[in-house]
Amino acid sequence: MFKEFPHPDEKQRLQLSRELGLAPRQIKFWFQNRRTQMKAQHERADNSSLRAENDKIRCENIAIREALKNVICPSCGTTPVTEDSYFDEQKLRIENAQLKEELDRVSSIAAKYIGRPISQLPPVQPVHISSLDLSMGNFGGQGLGGPSLDLDLDLDLIPINSNLAFQPPGISDMDKSLMTDVAANAMEELLRLLQANEPLWMKSSTDGRDVLNLDSYQRIFPRAMSHLKNPNVRIESSRDSGVVIMNGVALVDMFMDSNKWVESFPTIVSVAKTIEVISSGMLGNHSGSLQLMYEELQVLSPLVPTREFCILRYCQQIEQGLWAIVSVSYDIPQFASQFRCHRLPSGCLIQDMPNGYSKVTWVEHVEIEDKAPTHHFYRDLIHSGMAFGAERWLATLQRMCERVACQMVSGSSTRDLGGVIPSPEGKKSMMKLGQRMVSSFCSSISTSNSHRWSTLSGLHDVGVRITLHKNTDPGQPNGVVLSAATTFSLPASPQNVFNFFKDEKTRPQWDVLSSGNAVQEVAHIANGSHPGNCISVLRAYNTSQNNMLILQESCIDSSGSLVVYCPVDLPAINIAMSGEDPSYIPLLPSGFTISPDGYPDLGDGASTSSNTQGRMARSSGSLITVAFQILVSSLPSARLNLESVNTVNSLIGTTIQQIKAALSCPGS
């Protein structure tokens, strides 16, 4: 049937569905996948034929040039070797070596992903290409441990918000064909993972989460070779589903745009960059779009290294109102040697609902090579798969979509303080300012390759981590900024800790900006269904700084919470509240991240709303990261001296002591 009618019409598909007992949609997708496979096979055959012909011609050229070496000049009796012929020969040898490397690399990738043995090829030789240099400057590897600390700042540092400085690799037509094949196979696997239940997925006996049955998985999806073959490798897999306040087209656009991807998940995605667009897909809905991307994923603590991936992201519209997006690791020589994480087919299924919402089912499936032991604070949270799992992704997506929906609402909420923000434009401007503040805060404590942390000893067993960067982007204070952060644990539920930071009445107990004075909320913008998701403008009753206000954004979901704040002067707040562009208002935020410690709460626990009673929120204790930023100098040359370090070290130490005392945890 396929040979005669590779593009069957609807009538033919219906006839086949009746004869085979399959749904018309299954028939449609079988023909689509078959056409894709045939196209890839034809392209590979053509490429192989052309390469063989090219190699034959090149060998003939080399043989002719070798023969010319033995030609004797009739005049002088010597071999006529010129400089040009020498370099031509060297050029041909280099080209031969490059073609050999390319063929070996593509053969290796094909055998790994497609599972088809290529026995006729010689063993793969390592490609000696210098690894990607993502470092952005540090203290030269020097630890910050003694009282004589006095370090010069290297002003050749790349600005903190600069894009990754690397050249995308040259991608040939053969590479693109192979990428298309890999993406199609990954999509097929993801759809089965999304829709299958037992025996592929089982319910965890401890918390009821969906856990992948690895034995069943390996039987259903056999692979020619595992990506990471050593005892330090472990698997993290999870699946979750929920309803999101956003339609499918908008969600697909968010997922397929690397800039929107970072903006939508600032607490998870620290870096995302589109390396190459392999296929742009259909206009308007991204169906068929295929991209090669680089991304780094984070837990907001200097104790947890980021996870780096080079992935293929592929979008396919299954039917009207139903999309699937898959991400799968793809090795490129420039990056492969440095990655310790490998993403197996992961992604989501997005289904439009009649009310403009979407149902999203999310799957995360990753192989991790633990080259260094995980810090004991985060061991349970990470090894359980909750720190980077589907539950966290989905909870963050739901919260961010609620935020977008609140930003689009023109009216004022009953919780918004009336009269202070005069217009819907002012509300949107304040929300943009808050979003930029949160993104800047998350970036400042990230362990991305754009940062190099050094540890100060003396506070506790973790120590305070510090790093320097030079701000040059609009909306950031110009100059050299010292970022400092540390993580500590408390035997208190994450909900109680969040309530403590969020309550303006308890703020003088820990906030140095208030100088121990009372704090009053003068403006409030709700940006989610939970009352803790909001933007506030606070005034501290401090007579010495009557012109200074505090901009704060707090957010909470089942995976954790944030409280981020920043001093902003009154004229700048007025600019934002009037609806003007807030992009150039300088922000240097500080704040707290609150995560569950991974241990289940066996007691009654704190009472929470249904929005935050997720599995990750039910925890007996909390992991709190506190981070501050101070402007060291606005001069073109600066020196990090002992005074600056002592200031930030004392600030963090005092804050932690006050928090423990206020929450009755002095010995923790």
Instruction: Give the DSSP letter string of 387-448.
Output: SSSHHHHHHHHHHHHHHHHHHH--SPPTTSPTTTS-SHHHHHHHHHHHHHHHHHHHHHT--S
Report d(CA 346, CA 366) in Å as an integer: 8
Counting Cβ atoms within 10 Å, is residue 148 exposed (0-12), middle (13-18) or buried (19+)?
A: exposed
**Per-residue pLDDT tens over the stretch 105-134:** 666 655 554 444 444 444 434 333 232 222
Lowest mean pLDDT: which of 132-141, 295-304, 385-394, 544-553?
132-141
> Which 8-state DSSP code applies to residue 163?
P
Report d(CA 331, CA 519) in Å as an integer: 53
Strand partners, 419: none
Q: Which pLDDT score is estimated for 383?
A: 87
Higher per-residue confidence, 88 vs 326: 326
> Which 8-state DSSP code applies to residue 198?
T
Q: Which pLDDT score is estimated for 518?
A: 84
Would you list the DSSP string of 19-40? HHT--HHHHHHHHHHHHHHHHH
Lowest mean pLDDT: which of 145-159, 235-249, 269-283, 476-490?
145-159
Residue in the block written with tokens 């000049």: 73
Number of neighbouring beta carbons within 10 Å of residue 426: 20
Q: Which pLDDT score is estimated for 155?
A: 35
Please give the C-alpha separations between residue 458 and each of 30, 147, 638, 648, 649, in angstroms, as whole numbers: 63, 11, 25, 13, 9
**Mean pLDDT, range 580-607, rounded to an integer:** 77
Q: Look up residue 474 and give its two tokens.
A: 């609009």
pTM for the full predicted model: 0.74
Q: Which pLDDT score is estimated for 337?
A: 53
Q: Look up residue 570 and give its two tokens.
A: 């009154």
Higher per-residue confidence, 498 vs 646: 498
Q: Which pLDDT score is estimated for 131?
A: 29
Helices 173-195/83-113 angle, 10° precision: 10
Q: Is the peptide bond prior to 199 cis by the omega test (within 30 degrees of 0)?
A: yes
Q: Which pLDDT score is estimated for 1?
A: 76
Lowest mean pLDDT: which of 229-233, 417-421, 484-488?
417-421
465: nearest Cα among 1, 25, 139 = 139
Binning pLDDT at 50, 70 and 90, where does residue 74 land? low
- C-alpha 634 chain-centroid distance: 31
pLDDT at 548 exceeding the cut of 60: yes
Report d(CA 396, CA 393) in Å as an integer: 5
Q: Which pLDDT score is estimated for 17?
A: 80
Report d(CA 135, CA 172) in Å as an integer: 28
Binning pLDDT at 50, 70 and 90, where does residue 332 land? confident
Please give the C-alpha separations between residue 169 and each of 245, 327, 334, 533, in angstroms, as whole numbers: 38, 19, 8, 42
Q: CB–CB of 343/285 below 8 Å?
A: no
Report d(CA 456, CA 652) in Å as an integer: 12
pLDDT at 81 exceeding the cut of 60: no
**Per-residue pLDDT tens over the stretch 30-72:** 888 888 888 888 877 877 778 787 777 878 777 777 676 666 6
Q: CB–CB of 483/464 below 8 Å?
A: no
Q: Which pLDDT score is estimated for 515?
A: 75
Q: Look up residue 192 and give its two tokens.
A: 């089965």
Report d(CA 115, CA 113) in Å as an integer: 6
Q: Which pLDDT score is estimated for 58?
A: 75
Q: Which pLDDT score is estimated for 116?
A: 46
Report d(CA 300, CA 270) in Å as an integer: 10
Q: What angle do CA 536, 540, 541 make, to 5 degrees?
A: 145
Determine how β-strand 479-490 pairs with β-strand 622-633: antiparallel
Report d(CA 168, CA 189) in Å as an integer: 28
Binning pLDDT at 50, 70 and 90, where does residue 408 land? confident
SS3 364: strand
**Mean pLDDT, range 246-268, rounded to an integer:** 94
Type of residue numbered 662: A
Please give the C-alpha separations between residue 323 and each of 63, 209, 248, 393, in angstroms, as whole numbers: 55, 24, 7, 18
Q: Which pLDDT score is estimated for 544?
A: 60
* Percent of the chain scoring above 70 in pLDDT: 75
pLDDT at 77 exceeding the cut of 60: no
Q: CB–CB of 302/485 below 8 Å?
A: yes
Most confident of 69-83, 99-113, 238-252, 419-433: 238-252
Q: Which pLDDT score is estimated for 69?
A: 63
Residue in the block written with tokens 């980021």: 306
User: Which backbone phi and psi does 371 adopt, to 5 degrees?
Assistant: -70, -30
Q: CB–CB of 593/562 below 8 Å?
A: yes
Q: CB–CB of 479/471 below 8 Å?
A: yes
Q: Which pLDDT score is estimated for 64?
A: 78
Residue in the block written with tokens 């404590």: 445
**Mean pLDDT, range 633-647, rounded to an integer:** 63
Q: Which pLDDT score is estimated for 198?
A: 82
